[in-house]
Amino acid sequence: MPTPYSVKLFSGSQSQYLAEKISYYYGKSLGSVSLQKFSDGELSPSFNESVRGCDVFLIQSTFPPADNLLELLLMVDAARRASAKYVTLVVPYFGYARQDRKDKPRVAIAAKLVANLFMAAGADRLMTCDLHAGQIQGFFDFPVDHLDGSAIFVPYLRSLKLDNLLFASPDVGGVARARSFAKFFQADIVVCDKHRKRANEIASMQVIGDVEGANVVLVDDLIDTGGTICKAAEIIMEKGAKSVRAICTHPIMSGNAYEKINSSVLTEIAVSDTIPLAQESPKIKVLTVAELFSKAIRNVHDHESISSLFIKI
Return the half-sphere exposure (C-beta side, CA atoms, 13 A cut-off) of residue 164. 10
21 catalytic residue (yes or no) = no
Which residues 6+ apart lie within 8 Å of 266 measured at CB?
A: 229, 230, 233, 244, 245, 246, 283
C-alpha–C-alpha distance, residues 20 and 26, integer Å: 10
Residues ≥6 apart with Cβ < 8 Å to 86: 54, 55, 56, 124, 125
Helices and strands (H and E) in the chain: how many: 8, 14
Identify the DSSP state of 96: T
| 281 Cβ contact partners less than 8 Å away, ≥ 6 residues apart | 258, 261, 262
* CA dist list (Å): 26 to 92, 175, 224, 292: 16, 34, 31, 10
The helix (H) or strand (E) run that includes residue 286 is: strand 284-287
Which of 37, 104, 183, 194 is the catalytic position?
194
Give residue 46's identity as a one-letter amino acid code: S
Query: Measured between alpha carbons, how far is 268 from 31 in angstroms, rounded to an integer?
Result: 36
Active-site residues, by number, are 194
